[in-house]
């Protein structure tokens, strides 16, 4: 069963992916955060920073597309095939209003007939690589999945990765495991599970209770604990030197990418929302970290966090609440 890194916009892009692979490894596959192809049949320079095969060399990467327009999906998938990617993924899960308002992401799940037409066009277009789909169980109610499963089953989707929530759940509450399990017998293609796998024990439990799944996809927990894939394969927990090296490499790469350290501090704070849960205590330091504006203040606080605070083997309750 593959263990894959979830696509997470602004978190798991090219910078994170390269450094994660280099320092911790262990993920069998990395999904890019969504890329939106437009009517102009060319990726922009910015999109190419994410997609260029040279920058992704050495890793197994699946680019993810966000669109409801078959023509746009088709040119983009063919272009990705030319670039050497063996697979492309369609985003049917994004819950953001700006995306769903245009009928994209999980907004597409409200229109199963239109979705069926989309797939008819896409699977008829001679795209020479695998097409996988990342979906939720529905928009407002997981009973909607019955219709969606009927649509998905009609097409040669290479893998259906299910984030076991509906759009109205956003990222909160427990995943709908019962609805996920009920859906499995209806799906002829390989199925992957996604949603709230946070600890190695939870990954193991899923592997042993659902041996038929093709993959387990891990998102937020891999930002909190970048060694999670390695640990799930029997390797070591994240060490202090590794965490420091990882942080410093992200900081340096983002500073180079943004062209200034100013925007980097704000960006790095997003990572700390998850990563802080791997450290014991340090409430005052993390509060100060959130307030820090100047790069020198930020770096000084990070230095103290990574040098002084005890590191846990696995993250504590943080972005989720105890059951």
Ligand X SMILES: Cc1cc2nc3c(=O)[nH]c(=O)nc-3n(C[C@H](O)[C@H](O)[C@H](O)COP(=O)(O)O)c2cc1C
Indicate the residue whose CB is closest to ligand X: 219
Give the CA angle between residues 123, 125, 128 to the nearest 5°: 80
Q: Residue 33, interface with ligand X (CB under 6 A)? A: yes
| Binding residue (CB under 6 A) for ligand X from 50, 159, 169, 196 | 196
User: Which residue stretch of 42-50, 212-220, 245-253, 288-296 sits at the interface with ligand X (rule: CB under 6 A)?
Assistant: 212-220
Q: Give dist(CA 218, CA 193) in Å, integer.
A: 9
> Who's near 75: CB < 8 A, 6+ residues apart?
37, 41
Q: Residue 226, interface with ligand X (CB under 6 A)? A: no
| Binding residue (CB under 6 A) for ligand X from 13, 63, 107, 219 | 219
User: Which residue stretch of 46-54, 148-156, 194-202, 224-232 sits at the interface with ligand X (rule: CB under 6 A)?
Assistant: 194-202
Give 9 or 248: the residue with its C-beta nearer to ligand X.
9
| Binding residue (CB under 6 A) for ligand X from 20, 134, 167, 247 | 134
Q: Residue 17, interface with ligand X (CB under 6 A)? A: no
Q: Residue 13, interface with ligand X (CB under 6 A)? A: no
- Using CA atoms, how far residue 158 sits from 132, 164, 187, 214, 252, in Å, is 5, 19, 12, 10, 37
Q: C-beta of 304: minimal distance to ligand X in Å?
A: 26
Q: Residue 232, interface with ligand X (CB under 6 A)? A: no
Q: Residue 215, interface with ligand X (CB under 6 A)? A: no
Q: Give dist(CA 226, CA 125) in Å, integer.
A: 38
Q: Residue 112, interface with ligand X (CB under 6 A)? A: no
Q: Residue 202, interface with ligand X (CB under 6 A)? A: no
Q: Residue 315, interface with ligand X (CB under 6 A)? A: no
| Binding residue (CB under 6 A) for ligand X from 16, 24, 30, 34 | 34
Q: Residue 6, interface with ligand X (CB under 6 A)? A: yes
User: Which residue stretch of 3-11, 37-45, 207-215, 286-294 sits at the interface with ligand X (rule: CB under 6 A)?
Assistant: 3-11
Binding positions for ligand X, rule: CB under 6 A:
6-9, 11, 33-34, 64, 91, 93-94, 134, 163, 171, 194-197, 218-221
């Amino acid at each position: 069963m593959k263990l894959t890194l979830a696509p997470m916009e602004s978190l798991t892009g090219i910078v994170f992916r390269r450094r994660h692979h280099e320092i911790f490894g262990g993920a069998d596959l990395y999904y890019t955060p969504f890329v939106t192809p437009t009517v102009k049949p060319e990726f922009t320079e910015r999109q190419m920073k994410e997609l260029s095969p040279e920058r992704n060399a050495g890793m197994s990467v699946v680019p993810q597309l966000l669109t409801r327009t078959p023509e746009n999906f088709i040119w983009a998938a063919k272009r990705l095939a030319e670039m050497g990617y063996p697979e492309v993924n369609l985003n049917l899960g994004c819950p953001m209003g700006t995306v769903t308002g245009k009928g994209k992401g999980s907004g597409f799940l409200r229109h199963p007939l239109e979705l069926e037409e989309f797939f008819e066009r896409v699977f008829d277009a001679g795209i020479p690589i695998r097409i996988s789909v990342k979906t939720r169980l529905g928009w407002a109610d997981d009973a909607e999945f019955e219709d969606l499963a009927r649509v998905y089953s009609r097409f040669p989707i290479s893998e259906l990765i299910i984030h076991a929530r509906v759009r109205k759940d956003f990222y909160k509450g427990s995943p709908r495991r019962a609805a996920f399990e009920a859906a499995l017998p209806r799906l002829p293609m390989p199925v992957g599970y996604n949603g709230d796998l946070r600890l190695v024990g939870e990954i193991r439990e899923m592997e042993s209770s659902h041996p038929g799944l093709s993959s387990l996809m891990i998102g937020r927990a891999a930002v909190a604990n970048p060694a999670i894939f390695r640990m799930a394969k029997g390797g070591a927990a994240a060490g202090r030197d590794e965490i420091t090296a990882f942080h410093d490499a992200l900081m340096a790469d983002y500073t180079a990418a943004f062209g200034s350290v100013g925007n980097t501090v704000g960006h790095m704070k997003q990572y700390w929302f998850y990563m802080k849960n791997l450290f014991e205590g340090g409430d005052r330091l993390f509060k100060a970290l959130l307030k820090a504006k100047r790069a020198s203040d930020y770096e000084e606080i990070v230095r103290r966090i990574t040098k002084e605070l005890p590191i846990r083997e696995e993250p504590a309750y943080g972005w989720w609440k105890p059951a």
